[in-house]
Amino acid sequence: MGRAFNVAVAGATGAVGNEILLTLERRNFPVNELRLLASKRSVGKELDFRGEPLCVQELMHDAFDGIDIALFSAGADRSLEFAEAAVKAGAVVIDNSSAFRMDPDIPLVVPEVNPEDIKQHKGIIANPNCTTILMVVALKPLHDISPVKRIVVSTYQSASGAGARAMDELRTQASQVLEGKPVVAAALPHQIAFNLFSHDSAIGENGYCKEEMKMVDETRKIMHAPEIRVCATAIRVPVFRAHAESILIEQERKITIAEALRALEQAPGVRVIDDHVKSHFPMPIDATGQDDVLVGRIRDDISSENGLAMFICGDQLLKGAALNAVQIAELLD
């Protein structure tokens, strides 16, 4: 990447938008001009970037003139409303929402898994769902050894996946419970403090919620493997930040634990934490603020002839969202 880019961040004041700014700065992304865009109520708010205050402007159709890369983190409705305007203005849109993920003409990219798909873009590149990103980063090195045929995954998703309001609500509810006060749920449908519940996205006719079906459909698209069978269960847990996943895979041929460990230890974006003596395996508290997906509890699935089991954790706001988007931008010419 030899030149500087004019970059817009749509949804700059949200949890993911804030992480995008921090990630651009931390990775020294070559920014010439940075334009912060958000809803009308945030106009005039100042955010720091590289030690300088920048004023938030209103997200409008004409806000992308002169922009090379537009990083969207404002939600699917806003992406559907404004992404095409950004493309028409000459920008490449990297979208964090679900708006374009399953469009066959729009690449869905995780740089450690399918970077070559970026070349197929026609102005928009989709960022996958957070849980899918974390999972495929961990599975790609194993899939390369022996193709994955089936996945059974249970996710343990932190409050950060529902945004800054949900994180604040977890903090408030924890205080309410400890002080013996009534618990109020607003950002999430149920009490999250000292509790867990099934992901609140809509349940389809097949009994799976939208969050679970994202993992099914997106995994197949990213890995170019429409034949992979995926069964997902998505659960919200009382953790501020970083998601965890329990994953069982069945592969075409049996690979040994030693093979799996070697592949994972050499894989980009992966850090193996698998200390049996100290019983130290991936935890959300260790994954928080980290770029890598933490992988451990690697063991044979004794219920499956060609099965392997593992446990992973990753920062939903970083690799699950902002970091992945910036990594895509880093691969643009």
Give the active site residues: 130, 243
H, E, C per residue of the chain: CCCCEEEEEECCCCHHHHHHHHHHHHCCCCEEEEEEEECHHHCCCEEEECCEEEECEECCCCCCCCCCEEEECCCHHHHHHHHHHHHHCCCEEEECCCCCCCCCCCCECCCCCCHHHHHHCCCEEECCCHHHHHHHHHHHHHHHHCCEEEEEEEEEECHHHHCHHHHHHHHHHHHHHHCCCCCCCCCCCCCCCCCCEECCCCECCCCCEHHHHHHHHHHHHHCCCCCCEEEEEEEECCCCCCEEEEEEEEECCCCCHHHHHHHHHHCCCEEECCECCCCECCCHHHHCCCCCEEEEEEEECCCCCCEEEEEEEECCCHHHHHHHHHHHHHCCC
